Structure 1
């Protein structure tokens, strides 16, 4: 029963990856009347995150961002902050050098179509620009290079402008190509990570290990044992990842070209609470964070030697 439960949990991580809902009328929905809303980032007195959709360190801020069902939350200088409005469900949240890229669903009353397609913000969520597929598609699996214009998505339904499976753009969403993923033999797609500087280098988490590519996913090879991978992210040229092995949750660093492995220490997690998202600050690789299935959030400032528990069970109360 325990193994079936963890398989169910990880399957939800790999396949659903934080999907909250899909609008049954998304293709018919038109722009609604926009209500003027004052957007501010304020210190949170309390937070309740029922579902975390992504974490990261945007290059235009000095905070850890957590995208959750209630919108954006930021942790900075030992305090949590939240936004006063624009509480969008930023599914597929990806921190980049000038802000963040995401997919998902808008807050009602903001005049935005549902789904968002691919959008980008360069002002900490105050406004968003529409990159592609606005009002047409929602992407549970989205990845982007920290610098550059490389974006990856997994198309869940084929269309004229997007293929089923892995697709990538080298011009910030203007045009798209399908990855051939030759050599990929896993039975599931999962979370994608992209090298911070070289957008052709990407890696994918699957139930059968990490598959790595240096040519936009056109050729791929497995670089780990065939184990369940629940989360991954690049740290320089290496990949930080979490796996579920022998009834244990593990955190490791791998150098993809040599296969060199390093264990990373982290707080004990129950087998039924796997890591769902990982983030390393490209501007300070000693700063890293992870979230879990039960909405815990941890951060390390010294490369994983010591960790602080920022959120437990998705809740915080602060003065």
Structure 2
């Protein structure tokens, strides 16, 4: 069915990536003349924006070095805090695979034209709200749609489509910020699809994956996996403390719940009604305040709650927002 295909796309976008090759060598820290010139001429600021429209939402999160909710779009970062939206004036990259960290954020993607960065960005990290980018691995070689990282731990995960000297096919993890990589064995993983990965905020060895047949959970970097839910379709997930906040599609309804991986206890979370063809695509919880959470949808809606899901505010509708 057409509606079911839309739901599938919301889960599977980016799993089968266009192969662009990878390298296991450390990235060259020397900058090209073009990069130096671009950075010299750049005028990076974070400015308030009254209204904007985003075409593609690439991820959301709460970086630990700021107080804002970050939204990564195809045209750079948007930040929401204290009832106001701000954006960066430079480095408006297509931040694919955006992940919030305690020190800032991690991402892949494609650079803004004219900034002098190589395309694709590989794995890059920023600790100053996107003003400067540190190249971790695969710079100019690979774009990763699915990335996951521990907020304060040392677990970093990517899904690789094509094996090479550094990465095996499927899920790979690094415990040294992208310096070296290992293949996740995925023992006892019986799903017919790979999906979104979530990593425990403080323990990078603990991860979970959404699939079309439930959530699989691991305490050893994905080497052994355990199904911890019933076999329903899960479109998005994130850790909230030791539990997992996730969205599922069951009996033609979109649901939001938490599950305790150890006990299996499941609790429902109230949230605004969503049409079946508008599933939740990204979920985030602030590790420093688990009552603060947000989600996006297939149709580029963004909702945020400050009280653990009791009340929600619609920040973006159909990719658009306007402030009076």
2:274 equivalent among 245, 258, 269: 269
> 2: CA distance between counterparts of 1:54 and 1:189?
18
Which residue does the alignment assign to 1:169?
A: 174
Cα distance 1:24–1:151, how it changes in 2: closer, same or farther (>3 A)? closer
For structure 2, the 5+ residue unaligned runs are 24-30
RMSD: 2.0
Say which of 80, 102, 108 aligns to 1:103. 108
Shift in Å, 1:8: 1.7
Q: Which of residues 214, 228, 231 is equivalent to 1:226?
A: 231
Whether the 8 Å CA contact 2:75–2:94 is kept in 1: the answer is: yes
- Per the normalisation by structure 1, the TM-score is 0.94
The residue that corresponds to 1:140 in the other structure is: 145
Select 1:291's aligned residue among 289, 293, 296.
296
Deviations 1:166-198 (A, max 9, x none): 100001110000000000011111100000011
Provide the C-alpha distance between the structure 1 equivalents of 2:151 and 2:22, rounded to a whole number of angstroms: 30
Q: 2: distance between equivalents of 1:32 and 1:260?
A: 56
The answer on 1:252 being equivalent to 2:257 is yes
Shift of 1:10: 2.6
**For 2:182 and 2:22, how far apart are their aligned partners in 1?**
24
Q: Quick check: 1:42–1:82 contact (8 Å CA) kept in 2?
A: yes
Partner of residue 73, structure 1:
78
Distance 1:169 1:26, change over 3 A: closer
Q: 1:215 aligns with which of 195, 200, 220?
A: 220
Instruction: Kindly state the Cα deviation for residue 45 of structure 1 after the two structures are TM-superposed.
Output: 2.0
Instruction: Give 1:15's aligned residue.
Output: 12
TM-score (norm 2): 0.93
More divergent stretch after superposition (272-281 vs 147-156): 147-156
User: Is the contact made by 2:279 and 2:297 (CA closer than 8 Å) also made in structure 1?
Assistant: yes
CA gap of 1:32–1:111, structure 2 versus 1, over 3 A, is: farther
* Partners of 2:226 and 2:3 in 1: CA distance: 26
Quickly say closer, same or farther: Cα 1:156–1:222, change in 2 above 3 A.
Answer: same
SS at structure 2 position matched to 1:9: helix
- Segments of 5+ residues of structure 1 without an aligned counterpart are none
- State whether residues 197 and 209 of structure 2, in contact with CA within 8 Å, keep that contact through their aligned partners in structure 1: yes
| Deviation readout 1:85-106 (Å, 9 max, x if unpaired) | 2110111100010000011111
| 1:304 aligns to 2:301 (yes or no) | no
Q: Which runs of 4+ in 1 moved over 6 A?
A: 21-27
Q: How far off its partner does 1:24 sit?
A: 8.0
Matched residue count? 313
Give, in whole Å, the separation in 1 of the partners of 2:14 and 2:84. Answer: 27
Partner of 1:33: 34
SS in 2 for 1:90: strand
Per-residue CA deviation, residues 75-119 of structure 1 (Å, 9 max, x unaligned), is 000011111121101111000100000111111111111111110
Q: Secondary structure at the match of 2:95?
A: coil
User: Match of 1:91, SS?
Assistant: strand
CA contact (8 A) 1:212 1:223 kept: yes
* 1:318 Cα deviation from its structure 2 partner: 1.7
- The DSSP-based 3-state class of the residue aligned with 2:110 is coil
